[in-house]
Structure 1
C-alpha cells in the first residue's frame, strides 16, 4: 500500500512538473507583443528592429532545437529540462534589466531554454505515459495555450500599475519559471534522471526519413499560417471596418477556440486508425477561413471562428505527430528537434512575406491567396504525415 501511494505521488508530481514546464513555453513570448510599442519608445527601436525582436525567439528555436537531443543524451532529459527552467528565469530577468544589449541577450537565452521544453516534452510523454500520450498531449497543449493567452492579456495592465513599467511586467514571468524549477528538482536529481544509452533505433537520423520530412512540413506550414494570423488578421479586420478593440476581442476568441481544440482533438485522434482525415480536414478548414476573409471580410466573426477551430486542430496534431510517428522517446526528441528547427525557421518568413505582399499590392487579396495556397499544400502534406506509421518504418 505504501509503495502504491509513493508511486502515485511520484506520478502526480511528474504530471504537475510537465504541466508547469508547458506553462512556461509561451508566456515569455506572448507577453512581448502587447508591450512592443512601449518597448520601441523606451529603447528607440525602429520598426525593423522591433520585428527582429519578435522573430528572435523563433530564430533561436530553429538554431538550437537540433542540439537538444544531443544534450539530453549527455545529461539526461530531466536534468536538461531543470537547467533550462533556471536558464529561462535568468533570460527573462536579463531581458528586463535596463542595460544596453540585455534585451537582446535575454531574449536569445530564453529562446534557447524554451527550445528544450518544446523538444523534450513530447519525448517525456512518449517515455513516461506511453499509454496516455493523447490525454497528456491535450493537457500540455491546453496549458501552454491558456497560460500564453492570460500572460498576453495581463501584460499591458501590469505595465500600467507596476513600478518599472514594461520591464517589470516582462520580468514577472520569471516567477512561473522558478516555480517550475522547484517542482522539477526531484525529477532532475532522482535516479531516473541519469543519462541512459539510447536504443539502436535512436541512432537512425530522422533527417533521412520521408515521413519525418512530412511531419516537419506540416509543422512548418501550420506555424507559418498561425503567426501570419496573429500578426495580420487584426489589421485586415481594421481595414474592413472592425474597431481595434473589437479586433482584439476577436483575436482572443480565436485563441480560446484553439485551446478548446487543443484539449479535445488528441482524444479523438487517439481513437482513429490514423490522423489523415483530421490533418487534411483541419488544413482545408483553415483554407476556407482565409477564403472567407478574402471574399466576405464583413463576416469577420465567422471567419475568426473557422480559423480558430482549424488552427487548434492543426497545432495540436503537429505536436501529437512527434510522439505518434516515433518509436521511442529518443525518436520523439529527434523528430521534435528536426520539425521545430525547420518549422520555426520557415514560420519566421510568414509575417514578413505577408506584410511585404500587402505593401507591394496595397491590397490584402494576394497575401490572403498565398496564405490559402499554403493551407492547401498543408492539407496534401497531412495525407502523408497522418499515416499510421513511425519514422523507422518508413524511410
Structure 2
C-alpha cells in the first residue's frame, strides 16, 4: 500500500485559517462605523429627541469613554469563555446597541451607544490576540490590514451618514450598520464553537515564540506594559483632540468653515495607507525606536507650524495626518510585538486601551476648557507640544526589542522576533 500524506487535515487547517481571516476582516470592519456614523446626524438627533447642548456633549463623549471603561473586561471574558466566544458576544453587543439607538426614546439612544461602545471596546482589545494566535507570522501585515479597515470603515460610515439620512431619515443612517455587525457575529459563531471545543482538550499548544504564552502574574508590575500603555494613551489623546478641535482652530485662523472641515477629512485620509504601512514596517524591524523618533519629529513640526503659522493650514493638516496616522497603528502593533503569546497580548491590549481611551476621552474636554479660559488656541497647542515629550519617551521605551515576562524578570531580550514572510528571503 502506498502511504499518502494527510490532505484532509491540511485542508481543514487551511479552511480554518481562511475562516479566521474572514472573521478578522469582518470584525475590524465593525470597530468604527457605529461611532463615526453618529456625529454627522447629531442635528437630527437633537431635534428628534429634544436634546440639550449638554445632552449632545454627553452623546459624543460616551463612545470614547465606553471604549476605555469596557476594554478591561475583554481579557477576563476571553480567559473564562474563550477569545472566539468573547468576540462573537462583542459583535452581538454592537448589533444590539445599534438597533437600540433607533428606538424613539432618549434613554435608549444613550444605552444603545454604551452597548455598541462596549462591544467595540472588546473587539479592539481582542483583535491583537486573534492575530497573535491565528497568524503569528503575519503580525505586521495583518495588524496593518486591521488598522486600514478600521480607518476605511470609519470614513465610509461618516461619509454615508448624511446621504442615508436624506434617503430614509436618521434611523436608517444609524440602523444600516447593524447589518455588517450581524453578519460578522454569524461568521464568528462557528469560530466560537471550535474555540470552545479546542479549550476542552487537555493539551497545551506552544505559541510561535516557543512557549505557551501563559498570562500568569500581573501586568501592573511590568514597566514595559506601562510604557506601551502610556504611549498608546498619549497617541490616542493627540488623535481625538485634533479630530475634535482642528476645524475650530482653522476657522479661528481665518479659514472658511467648509475648508476647515475638508482639512480634517484630509488629515484622516492621509492616515489610511499609513495604517497598513506602519505595522508592516514595525514588524520587520527588530527595534522600532527609529519609527517612534520619526513620528515625534513629524508631530512636532505639525503642531509647531499650527501654532506659529496657522494660515498654512493645508500643510499642517497633511503633516499631522502623517503623525497621528502613524502613531496609533504603531502603538497597536506593539501590543503584539511586545507580548510572548496571545493571552498576554489580550491582557496588554486591555490594559493599554483602558488607560489610553480614558485619557483620550478627557483630552478634547481639556483643550476646550483651555480655549474658553484663554480665548485662543495657543495654550492648548502648547500643551500638546509639551505632551509630545513624554509620548516620545514612553514610545522609545516601549519600542525596545524586549518581551513582557510575567515572572521574576519583567523584561526579556527579544532575540528572535518573527518577521512576516514577505520580508524573508525566498
Smaller-chain TM-score bracket: over 0.9
Taking only aligned residues, the RMSD between alpha carbons, in angstroms, comes to 1.7
Q: Equivalent residue for 1:143?
A: 149
Q: Equivalent residue for 2:410?
A: 394
C-alpha distance in structure 2 between counterparts of 1:9 and 1:241, whole Å: 57
Q: Equivalent residue for 1:240?
A: 253
Equivalent pairs, count: 393
Moved more, 361-370 or 236-245: 236-245
Contact 2:125 2:350 in 1 (8 A): yes
Gaps of 5+ in 2: 1-6, 205-211, 412-426
Q: Equivalent residue for 2:179?
A: 175
CA-CA distance at 1:100 after TM superposition: 3.6
- CA shift digits 1:54-75 (9 cap, x unpaired): 1112222222211211111111
Moved more, 30-39 or 131-140: 30-39
SS at match of 1:131: helix
Q: Equivalent residue for 1:318?
A: 331
Q: Equivalent residue for 2:306?
A: 293
Q: Equivalent residue for 2:419?
A: none
Question: Out of 247, 267, 272, which is 1:259 matched to?
Answer: 272
Where has structure 1 moved over 3 Å in runs of 4 or more? 1-6, 191-201
Q: How does 1:275-294 map to 2 (within 5 A)?
A: 275-294=288-307
Moved more, 187-196 or 376-385: 187-196
Question: Out of 221, 229, 237, which is 1:216 matched to?
Answer: 229
CA-CA distance at 1:241 after TM superposition: 2.3
Q: Say whether 1:121 aligns with 2:127.
A: yes
Contact 2:31 2:120 in 1 (8 A): yes
- CA shift digits 1:187-209 (9 cap, x unpaired): 11225665478958411121111
Question: Out of 374, 378, 382, which is 1:369 matched to?
Answer: 382
Contact 1:280 1:378 in 2 (8 A): no
C-alpha distance in structure 2 between counterparts of 1:189 and 1:281, whole Å: 44
Contact 2:27 2:123 in 1 (8 A): yes
C-alpha distance in structure 1 between counterparts of 2:136 and 2:273, whole Å: 23
- CA shift digits 1:100-120 (9 cap, x unpaired): 410011111111111111111
C-alpha distance in structure 1 between counterparts of 2:265 and 2:143, whole Å: 22
- CA shift digits 1:233-283 (9 cap, x unpaired): 011111222222222222221111111111111121122221111123212
Contact 1:72 1:195 in 2 (8 A): no
More helix per residue: 1 or 2?
1
Structure whose alpha-carbon radius of gyration is higher: 2
Q: Say whether 1:157 aligns with 2:163.
A: yes
Q: Equivalent residue for 1:36?
A: 42
TM-score (norm 1): 0.95
- CA shift digits 1:53-97 (9 cap, x unpaired): 111122222222112111111111111111211121011000111
Question: Out of 89, 94, 97, which is 1:88 matched to?
Answer: 94
